[in-house]
């Protein structure tokens, strides 16, 4: 299923990963190592799984991998809420909107792909 054309969700999740890496660097500098580690893992995994899904062996495999990406996005949103509630990040930080946009797009991709299988 590989397609090397520009892909909005791949680009969005890669941008998100870069911003997560940069924010986690700040968290580590403030000695919030455990939080940084958790956020780093989930926040970079979203894009990694999205890229992996581009090489899926079938539509079912694609859906499965994209669901993993969506789960990682949900976990990232959780860690960002913890950061917000502990005053480590502002409510209007770009990571919040990028993560929510990723969740919304991933959900739409998954539901649309499921519908195409059931036709």
Domains for the chain: give ranges and CATH numbers.
Answer: 8-114 (1.20.1440.60)
Other beta carbons within 10 angstroms of residue 110's beta carbon come to 17
Measured CA to CA in angstroms, residue 106 lies from 26, 46, 64, 109 at distances of 28, 10, 12, 5
Q: What is the pLDDT of residues 53-81, one digit of tens each?
A: 999 999 999 999 999 999 999 999 999 99
pLDDT computed for residue 102 by the predictor: 98
Residue ranges for the chain with pLDDT beneath 70 = 1-4
DSSP code, position 90: -
77 contacts: CB under 8 Å, gap ≥ 6: 96, 99, 100, 103
Alpha-carbon separation of residue 59 from 26, 98, 106, 107 (angstroms): 39, 26, 14, 15
Q: How far apart are the first and last CA of the chain?
A: 19
pLDDT value at position 58? 95
């Amino acid at each position: 299923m590989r397609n090397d054309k520009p892909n909005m969700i791949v680009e969005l999740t890669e941008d998100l990963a870069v911003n997560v890496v940069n924010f986690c660097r700040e968290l580590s500098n403030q000695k919030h190592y455990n939080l940084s580690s958790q956020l780093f893992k989930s926040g970079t995994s979203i894009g990694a799984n999205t890229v992996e899904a581009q090489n899926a062996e079938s539509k079912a495999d694609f859906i499965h991998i994209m669901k993993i990406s969506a789960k990682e996005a949900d976990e990232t949103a959780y860690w960002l809420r913890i950061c917000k509630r502990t005053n480590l990040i502002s409510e209007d930080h770009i990571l919040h909107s990028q993560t929510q946009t990723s969740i919304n797009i991933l959900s739409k991709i998954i539901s649309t792909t499921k519908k195409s299988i059931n036709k």
